[in-house]
Amino acid sequence: MNKLSMTVNGKPVTGEVEGRKLLVEFLREDLGLTGTHVGCDTSQCGACVVHVNGKAVKSCTMFALEAENADVATIEGQAAEDGTLNTIQQAFQDHHGLQCGYCTPGMVMSAAALLRDNPRPDADEIREYLAGNLCRCTGYHNIIRAILAASGQEVAPLAAE
Ligand code: FES
Ligand code: FES
């Protein structure tokens, strides 16, 4: 077992993990942060996306020990303390950017990373950025609308499209 320290959603955490433990397993099993989902375990679906030192990362693709001393952000840290959704979460709700919700934490975390790098992406740029995030409910259309809206861009009502 190896000792491990990192910051998760602004709070220092420690743990003791086997070398083979994945970051997503540490978050879910050791810290109880089950908002980060596992959809495939083969690095394809993006349900496990978190931020590590400000970069979007599939947390099933790195070992927990690789995040030693890192600043990790998960979906649990996105809303305000009182539960008020952040701009991206609110836009997903307003524009029906989710159906079953399984992919949603990864989508929101990827969208946050995209908007940090590119505050006003067009629909094609959003599609390209989300290539590593799969939605099995095929809700892509409204996900893209939600991210456009979250970036402050005009989104026509669905009925007008
Ligand atoms: S669980 Fe990590 S990419 Fe699917
Ligand atoms: S909303 Fe169901 S997988 Fe995306």
The backbone torsions φ and ψ at residue 2, rounded to the nearest 5 degrees and listed phi first, read -125, 140
pLDDT in tens, 33-82: 999 999 997 999 999 999 999 999 999 999 999 999 999 999 999 999 99
Kindly report the CA angle at 123 between 119 and 129, in degrees rounded to 5?
70
Tell me the three state secondary structure of residue 102.
coil
Report residues whose beta carbon is within 6 angstroms of any ligand 2 atom. 98-104, 135-137, 139
Number of structural domains in the chain = 2
Q: Does residue 156 have a pLDDT over 90?
A: no
Assign 3-class secondary structure to 36-86.
Answer: CCCCCCCCCCCCCEEEECCEEEECCCCEHHHHCCCEEECHHHCCCCCCCCC
Question: pTM score, two decimals?
Answer: 0.95
CATH number at residue 156: 1.10.150.120
pLDDT in tens, 75-109: 999 999 999 999 999 999 999 999 999 999 999 99
Residue 65 lies in a domain: yes
Q: Is 46 in the pocket of ligand 1 (CB under 6 A)?
A: yes
Which ligand has the nearest atom to the CA of 103?
Answer: 2
Q: Are residues 10 and 58 in the same domain?
A: yes
- Residue 153 lies in domain: 87-160
